[in-house]
Amino acid sequence: MSGYATYQDSPRNSSRAIFASVSSPPLVSEKEILAACEKAIRLAPAEFQPTLRESKELLGAPEWYPFELEAWPIGESVRKAFSRNPKLRKREVLLSKVVEVATCRNLRRGRQSFIMALGFVSARPYAEHLGAFLDDPDVDGHVLRTLLKMRAPGFARDAKLLLHSDKSWKRRWAKKYLDQHPSPQ
């Protein structure tokens, strides 16, 4: 296998426990956000890890690696910082660093919160970077939702593929995206 302990190896292995402890200290400065992003990047394993077995506790979703569980709340802290201080959303250095984490494939699902942190119109110049992951089942739905929030057209062809997802929430976002950004005929 991968050598990493899985979420199931820990004593708290219910689906509620995964994000019950999602809390990182509030990030307020540019320096803190950059440091948090660097920390998340350092969590990524050198090689892409295989998908873990399905978990009953996670309603059939694959188990999470510890590095995914550690990275996710960091991205949520970044999202909250952008929400609390909208001026940070205009800082190019911050956006590019968050995109760097969001596109680090080896972080697997730990990227989800970083992708969601970019869900605002001023991050639209980075839509192409995220759109490249519409075929990645670890983050495809999160990417689509973020593209909607960015009001980023141009991804209808890839969004159509999510209309056939086994996840209803992904189908719903795909339909909404296609309603707002129909593909050219």
pLDDT, tens only, 6-24: 444 443 343 344 554 456 6
Q: Which residue among 69, 86, 111 closes a domain? A: 111
Domain that holds residue 176: 118-185
pLDDT of residue 8: 43
Helix (H) or strand (E) holding 112: helix 112-117
CA distances from 65 to 10, 73, 109 (A): 11, 14, 9
CB 92 within 8 A of CB 29: no
Last residue of a domain, one of 54, 77, 111: 111
- Whether residues 87 and 166 share a domain: the answer is no
Phi-psi region at 8: left, alpha or beta (left = phi > 0; alpha = psi -120 to 50) = alpha
- Domain co-membership, 136 together with 98: no
Supply the pTM of this predicted model.
0.87
Predicted confidence at residue 118, as pLDDT, reads: 98
| The pLDDT value given to residue 5 | 47
- CA nearest neighbour of 141 among 107, 112, 179: 112
At residue 37, does pLDDT exceed 70? yes
